Homo-oligomer: A and B are copies of this chain.
Amino acid sequence: MARRAQEIAEFVQARLIGDGNVIVTGIASVQLAASGDLVFVQDEKNLEAALQSRASAVIAGSFATGKNYSKPLLISEDPRLAFSRAAHLLRPKVERNPGVHPSAIVHAGARLGSVVIDERVVISEGAQIDDGTWLGAGCVIGRDVRIGESCELHPNVTVYPGTRLANRVIVHAGAVLGSDGFGYARDQKTGRYEKFPQIGRLEIEDDVEIGANATVDRGALVVTRIGRGTKIDNQVHVGHNVRIGTDVVIAAQTGLSGSAVVEDNVVIGGQVGIADHARIQDGAILGAQSGIPSRKIIRGKGIVFWGTPARPIRTYLKELARLARLAKKE
């Protein structure tokens, strides 16, 4: 999609230096940029490379203090954010014609808005899917599932009965939403495990993204909830009854056990383990592979925790350093 540099600058609220009539047609990294591309640089040391590249325009920070460059510059407080927004303008979403592929199986009792349903999708009785939502090939939507507007479910996603997705939720291939939680009661006489009922629901709020092959369990008796704007990476596991707040980020392969609570704005690295009933308070940061014991409360906006059991990273690094010195002395 062709846009003038001036249009892009306005869209991303950047200050333009240079010729606003230059035509931009795509986005790229500095190293792969071709003529017509928009690129961005996050710091001054990469600015020269961007100017030397074949790109037609550059988003840069306020470190670009010149008045005359070889290309138009779009000056933004946060070049990476501005670039992400510019991408919407320059690379509109894949166009999909509304309609239901003839190979899809839609139960008579399901209600569909103006949606795109791809090959071999199965939609069960009582499901409701609203306008603008796309279901990729092979998705299976259980009974009474509700999916809001403008969601994107990539191929082979399974949604268990009763699950609710709000609007603009993106779910990547192979993810499973609303599966049974892992709960059993052991009969002490026989040693056998009896399945604890898993009849709660999963609710996912607006603007959530869920990675490939991630799994999110329904509640046992209550609700599992993922808050607005939260982003969940591939192969993350979210157990039953978990409550995740808004604008939380969870990197790949992290696991949240049953009834864990993650408050708003928390950032969680990869392969972190959060045990049952633990609570991560607003804005805490958990380093990769750290472990939060059962019922533990993690406090501290902007504080990084690391290790198992997780402790403030300064403490953890001090301990590691002390141990290294002790071992070296021998």
Contact = CB atoms under 8 A, between A and B. Distances in A.
Contact of A158 (B27, B156, B211, B320): B156
A179 B84 contact: no
Interface string A66-94: 00000000000010110111010001001
Given A85-B194, A252-B237, A255-B252, A213 B271 contact: no
Interface string A253-293: 10101000000010001110101000000000000110100
A12 B151 CA distance: 44
A148 B63 CA distance: 47
A197 B91 contact: yes
Copies in the complex: 3
A61 interface: no
A2 interface: no
B188 A78 contact: yes
Given A273-B271, A319-B327, A184 B222 contact: no
B184 A231 contact: yes
Interface in A122-174: 122, 136-138, 140, 142, 154-156, 158, 160-161, 172-174
Interface string A174-204: 1010011010111110011111110100000
Contacts of A315: 324, 327
A176 B213 contact: yes
A192 B229 contact: yes
A330 interface: yes
Given A85-B194, A330-B318, A215 B215 contact: no
A45 interface: no
A137 B172 CA distance: 19
A27 B185 contact: no
B322 A326 contact: yes
Contacts of A235: 213, 215, 235, 237, 255
Contacts of A35: none
- Nearest 9 pairs of A and B residues by beta carbon: A29-B221, A158-B173, A81-B185, A140-B155, A176-B212, A87-B197, A179-B212, A182-B233, A212-B215
Interface of A: 27-29, 31-32, 78, 80-81, 83-85, 87, 91, 94, 103, 105, 118-120, 122, 136-138, 140, 142, 154-156, 158, 160-161, 172-174, 176, 179-180, 182, 184-188, 191-197, 199, 207, 209, 211-213, 215, 217, 220-222, 229, 231, 233-235, 237, 239, 247, 249, 251-253, 255, 257, 265, 269-271, 273, 275, 288-289, 291, 307-309, 315, 318-324, 326-327, 330
